A and B are shown apart, each in its own frame.
Chain A
Amino acid sequence: MISIEEIRDYLPSFLSQGSEQAFLDEIRQFLAKNSKQLFYSSKLSKEPILFQGDGLEGLLVINLPDVKIRPAPVMLFSNTCDVHPDNKRLFNSCLTYAPIFSLEKYLYTLRKEHNEDRVRGHERDIRQQLITQIFFLPDGGRLGGDCLVFLDRAMSASSSVVDRNKVPDIRLFTLSDFGAWLFVLKLSIHFCRIRDRVDRVAGVIG
């Protein structure tokens, strides 16, 4: 059985008492399937730092094999510390990010090709964060509507493409403690789930 001290190792240790309560409230809202939960924090909006999970306007996006490149809103996957310029390393970390899509446009397009019940069920799964490839972003910050990010459509660029002094101007949102925790959890499930039913030694694909 897990000990109490081990339990503490799994909890976000940086939370102040007020933040811990906010985290609890948000997690309860999530479990109650309230998609209008508080998901963002405005406390860091003026910071010239890229935080993991930040929404940023105007980074270059590509959709290979299409070679067209355009600026678009993106969500940053990179770890905050990895891309902080003050952390000197033998090599510079790149920014990993994925484009942000409009949920309204996505559903509208799906409805042109698929039946309503199927699309409605898909929308419900998205809002409950139950699609492994999708991170749902409820309207907030400067998003201007519900959005989504496909975790399997990530790309990278040099860290120098973002002038840190201009980050507050291009930032669309910063996730709350709960939002950031949920984002990392979904990234982990998307990339690291070990229930892929592949026995690599026996060569059996389940």
Chain B
Amino acid sequence: MSRPHYLISPRSLATATALFLSLPMLGDPQQDQPLPLDAEKFAPLDGVGDIVAKAMQPASYIIGKPLVLFSLISEVATRLVKESKPLDGDFARTVDKEFWNLLR
């Protein structure tokens, strides 16, 4: 009994085609928009169309603004949590003494 040729199965070809069709998304300024999940875009792929569309959807987000934003706010939050230090007690006592004189 011969082994099935997975690499050239119809499903693999369909997946490769779907990936190729989606490549232009990489340079699209609206790349943070989700790919349409309807079957139309991947209709030629029959049953695997929905699977491919769902698989591709995160990829379109990953290279888009939301992940950049998430990455940056995570960096800020991490920096503040890890590098923050308490106010020096000597300085706090100065504020206690000079409270009214230091107001804007």
Name A residues whose Cβ lies closer than 8 Å to a Cβ of B. 3-4, 7-8, 10-11, 20, 23-24, 27-28, 30-31, 61, 63, 66, 68, 70, 72-73, 99-102, 105-106, 109-110, 113-114, 122, 125, 129-134, 143-145, 147, 150, 153, 181-182, 185-186, 189, 193
Give Cα A28 to B77, complex, Å: 13
- Given A4-B58, A66-B99, A105-B102, check contact A182 B76 (CB 8 Å): yes
Query: A181 — which chain B residues lie within 8 A by C-beta?
Result: 73
Task: Supply 5 further A-B pairs (C-beta < 8 A) apart from A31-B79, A101-B95, A110-B94.
Answer: A7-B67, A101-B103, A113-B94, A150-B87, A189-B80
Q: Write out the residue numbers on chain B whose beta carbons fall within 8 Å of the beta carbon of A30.
A: 76
A205 CA / B44 CA spacing, docked (Å): 65
Partner of B94, one of A10, A70, A109, A129: A109
Give complex CA distance A10, B67 in Å.
11
Shortest Cβ gap from A177 to chain B (Å) = 11
Once the chains are docked, how many angstroms separate the CA of A165 from the CA of B95?
34
Q: Which of B50-73 touch A at CB < 8 Å?
A: 57-58, 61-62, 65-70, 72-73
Which of B67, B86, B90, B100 touches A132 (beta carbons < 8 Å)?
B86
- Across-interface contacts of B77 in A (CB, < 8 A): 185
Chain A residues in 8 Å Cβ range of B102: 101-102, 105-106, 109
Does B9 lie at the interface of the complex (its beta carbon under 8 Å from any beta carbon of A)? no
Let me know if B103 and A99 touch, CB within 8 A: yes
- Residues of A close to B65: CB separation below 8 A: 20, 24
